[in-house]
C-alpha cells in the first residue's frame, strides 16, 4: 500500500530531471501517472520506465500553455485512468540574460511556459473539480506549483525567470484562498536539484559525487511533492516549500513590517529619517543570488 493509491497524478515537464523523479516516486506510492512533456520520446521513455517498475503510466506530449491543449491532456488522462486528482506544474525553460540584454522574445517565451503553463491546466482541472464538488461528490484534489529560489529572492541574469517564478508564488496564494471551498489545496515548491537547467548553469556544483549522499539527486525533492499530492496533506495549503537534499523548509514570504504612522500627510523631505529607521528595524532580506 502506498500513500497515493488510487490517485492519478498529472506531471508536466516529466520527461527528465525533477519531473521524471516525481513520476517514479508517485508511481512507487501507488499513483497512476500522466507523464506530460513536449518531447514525446522523453515522455514515452519515462512512462515506460514507470511501467517497467510495476507502475501505471500514460505518456502525453500535449500543449500545456493553451486551454485547448490542457483540456485535451485532461481528457486523455480521464480516458486512461477515470479521474485526475493531482496536478504538478513542473515544466519550465530558461532564457538567461542580464536584464538590459533581454529581448522581447526572451521575456515572452519564459512567461508563456511558466505563467501561462501554470494557468491552463489548473484552470481546466479546477473547473472540473469545482463542478464535481457542486454536484455533491467528494473532492480531495491537489495543485502543486513550481516556484524557485530565484523567484523568492531574485537572481542575477534571470530577471524574466525570477519574475515568472515570483508570479507563480503569488498565484499559489490566490489559488489556495479561492479553491479551498472546492476541496482543492494549492502549494508551491522551490526545488534545488540536478536537472538539465541547473547542469547548464552550474555543472560543477550539481555534479553527482563519487560516493556518499547525492544532495542534488532529484529524487530527494520528490518526497515532499509526493506527500503534498497525497491525502495526508489535506490540512496544508497556500505554502511554499524549499527542498534540497535532506533539507526542507517553509518559505516566509512578504508580510507587512513595522509601521510608522504620523497621523497626517508626510512631507517628502522628512521621510529620509523615517525610511532609514523602518529599514533598520526590519529583518534584512536574503541576498539576491549572484550578489
Tell me which residue of 156, 185, 11 sits closest to 92, measured CA to CA.
11
List the catalytic residue out of 147, 148, 155, 159: 148
Q: Is 161 marked active-site? A: yes
Cα 80 from Cα 74, distance rounded (Å): 10
Q: Which one of 155, 161, 230, 233 is the catalytic residue?
A: 161
Report which of 36, 84, 65 is spatially closest to residue 164, judged by C-alpha positions.
65
* 116 labelled catalytic: no
> Can 148 be counted among the known catalytic residues?
yes
Q: Which of 22, 155, 159, 165 is catalytic?
A: 165
- Angle at CA of residue 121, ends 169 and 147, nearest 5°: 20
If we measure between CA atoms, which residue out of 173, 68, 64 comes closest to residue 119?
64
Q: Which residues are catalytic?
A: 148, 161, 165
Amino acid at each position: 500500500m502506498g500513500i497515493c493509491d488510487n490517485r492519478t497524478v498529472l506531471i508536466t515537464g516529466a520527461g527528465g530531471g525533477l519531473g521524471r523523479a516525481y513520476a517514479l516516486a508517485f508511481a512507487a506510492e501507488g499513483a497512476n501517472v500522466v507523464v506530460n512533456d513536449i518531447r514525446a520520446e522523453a515522455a514515452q521513455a519515462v512512462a515506460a520506465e514507470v511501467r517497467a517498475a510495476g507502475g501505471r503510466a500514460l505518456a502525453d506530449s500535449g500543449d500545456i500553455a493553451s486551454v485547448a491543449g490542457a483540456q485535451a491532456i485532461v481528457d486523455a488522462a480521464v480516458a486512461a485512468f477515470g479521474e485526475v486528482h493531482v496536478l504538478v506544474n513542473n515544466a519550465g525553460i530558461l532564457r538567461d540574460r542580464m536584464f538590459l540584454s533581454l529581448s522581447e522574445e526572451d521575456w515572452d517565451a519564459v512567461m508563456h511556459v511558466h505563467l501561462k503553463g501554470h494557468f491552463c491546466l489548473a484552470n481546466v482541472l479546477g473547473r472540473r473539480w469545482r463542478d464535481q464538488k457542486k454536484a455533491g461528490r467528494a473532492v480531495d484534489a491537489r495543485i502543486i506549483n513550481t516556484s524557485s529560489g530565484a523567484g523568492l529572492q531574485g537572481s542575477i541574469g534571470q530577471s524574466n525567470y525570477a519574475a515568472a517564478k515570483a508570479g507563480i508564488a503569488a498565484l499559489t496564494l490566490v489559488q489556495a484562498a479561492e479553491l479551498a471551498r472546492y476541496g482543492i489545496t494549492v502549494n508551491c515548491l522551490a526545488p534545488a536539484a540536478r536537472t538539465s537547467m541547473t547542469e547548464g548553469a552550474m555543472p560543477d556544483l550539481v555534479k553527482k559525487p563519487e560516493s556518499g549522499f547525492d544532495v542534488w539527486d532529484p529524487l530527494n525533492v520528490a518526497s515532499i511533492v509526493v506527500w503534498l499530492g497525497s491525502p495526508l496533506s489535506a490540512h496544508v495549503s497556500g505554502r511554499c516549500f524549499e527542498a534540497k537534499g535532506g533539507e526542507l523548509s517553509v518559505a516566509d514570504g512578504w508580510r507587512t513590517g513595522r509601521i510608522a504612522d504620523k497621523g497626517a500627510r508626510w512631507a517628502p523631505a522628512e521621510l529620509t529619517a523615517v525610511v532609514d529607521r523602518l529599514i533598520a528595524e526590519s529583518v534584512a532580506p536574503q541576498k539576491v543570488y549572484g550578489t
